[in-house]
Amino acid sequence: RKSPKCVNIDGCNSSKKSSKCVNIFDCNPSTTTSILDEIAVLVEKLTFLDIEYEHTYSEGSEMTLADLILFVYIYHLLEALDFNCISLTDHVPSILQWANHMTSVPTVVDASQRSGWKMNKFANGFHIVNTRDGYESSHWSKHVVFIKDIEIMEEEMELSRCARMKHKALKPEVTQILDKFEKANIRPVTGSHCCGDHVEVDWDSLPAAVHPKEGDVPKSRTQRKCQQLENLATAMQTIAKPGDILVDFCSGGGHLGVLMAYMLPDCQVYLVENKEESLLKASSRLESLDLHNVTMYQCNLDYFRGTFNVGVCLHACGSATDMVLKLCLDSNASFVICPCCYGSIQKTHILCYPQSQHFETAGITYKEFLTLGHAADQTELNTALEEQGRLCMNLVDTDRAQLARELGYDVTLCSLKPLSCTPKNNLLFGTLNK
């Protein structure tokens, strides 16, 4: 039997009764049964709110794919350090505790060993940390140097804070930057939609499940959402060819993707979205339409690795628009993009601003470009700064268009029709010159 347990319940003749902590196996059978019955009643009344979960893994009490991914990186980090955990103990103790626990999971150990990993050395490194054995030993060949003070440009830190706070650029700053563009002879060049003025979709002729109102769009926004979708869907009709793979990036509930799949039955449509709830909504609409030319991918933009012919996105926020554009350019794919949230643009490990050689040659700095983005968010209709905001928005999108042109694309920057369908009403579409 298991070792005796100490139970806080009255009703036992044990000498420990005064403290209400008893060994149930020292009680007579009837008392033991009574205690067990009370325990059973207590357990039945328990809810998840009464349970304190131990944060064992990266995201809680259960192992997820994130743990396996992180485990690979931690292993290779420690392998590079000759499995010396000592230098990391004071800096990442929780990570080391988690990694140590992972080495006790049999399936993880088995898979690691089959991959050729040195799990004995890996686990022994944690043993040395726990016992402090060999802390002063000189046999460790590699050490970690932690840099406490990282030099970061104060201006860039301020710009990052401004982006998170939806900072609105000061008018003198914007005026100076616009003067710089004027002196460099950089002006937005806008064109027309590839369908001209004929961008309407006859929604009444389409099944109900194709309409965005079936995707939980509020009634007050339904008409404007339809107008936005019309502009992108008709552009896709012009650019896409039978057999093409079309990717709706940041697809959300699939408003655009479902419409494209129905209007272009000879094409395959991919929906790329990281929110499961959104894809479930799209899935229910696709089932009711009996559409079989749609594949859904639940992942972040930078995880998508499929091949495709045309990429599209409607109002991908900030730098997500540029990530979509980069995916299209890297795949030599055509694109139809309606940007959004210009003030949220920030450089990343794969994106730098400005992006085009044309803007860089003109001496446009990162700070100036981000200030331009902040001003570009001031495009609400009938406001004093609308005209300036539209100019800034067009300049940001001109940089995007110019980047594609430098890579051999024919690109057009135009506006959605009508302009009132959304304040962020620019449309970029481009095809690679053959």
Sheet bearing 310-317, strands edge to edge: 294-298, 268-273, 245-249, 310-317, 334-340, 426-432, 409-415
SS3 category, 346? coil
Overall average pLDDT of the 214-241 stretch: 92
Whether residue 429 contacts residue 337, with contact meaning beta carbons closer than 8 Å, is answered with yes
Query: Given a cut of 60, is residue 169 above it in pLDDT?
Result: no
Query: Given a cut of 90, is residue 163 above it in pLDDT?
Result: no
- Of 23-27, 52-56, 135-139, 183-187, where does mean pLDDT reach its minimum? 135-139
Q: Model confidence over 269-316: pLDDT tens digits? A: 999 999 999 999 999 999 999 999 999 999 999 899 999 999 999 999
Burial of 109 (0-12, 13-18, 19+ CB in 10 A): middle
Would you kindly state where each structural domain of the chain is located, as residue ranges?
A: 6-50, 65-131, 159-432
Q: How confident is the model at residue 62, as a pLDDT?
A: 85
Query: Given a cut of 70, is residue 168 above it in pLDDT?
Result: no
With CA atoms as reference, report the closest residue to 227 among 408, 28, 419, 424: 419
With CA atoms as reference, report the closest residue to 126 among 94, 79, 84, 163: 84
Whether residue 144 contacts residue 83, with contact meaning beta carbons closer than 8 Å, is answered with no
Q: What is the pTM of this model?
A: 0.65
Overall average pLDDT of the 96-121 stretch: 92
- CB neighbour list of residue 168: distance below 8 Å, 6 or more residues apart: 343, 374, 375, 377, 378
* CATH ID of 159-432, from 3.30.540.10, 3.40.50.150, 3.90.76.10, 1.10.4190.10: 3.40.50.150
Bridging pattern class, strands 426-432 and 334-340? antiparallel
Whether residue 221 contacts residue 292, with contact meaning beta carbons closer than 8 Å, is answered with no
CA dihedral defined by 189, 195, 197, 201, rounded to 10 degrees? -130
Q: Model confidence over 178-224: pLDDT tens digits? A: 999 999 999 999 999 999 999 999 999 999 999 998 877 888 899 99
Residues composing the chain: 434
Bridging pattern class, strands 294-298 and 268-273? parallel
- CB neighbour list of residue 350: distance below 8 Å, 6 or more residues apart: 302, 323, 326
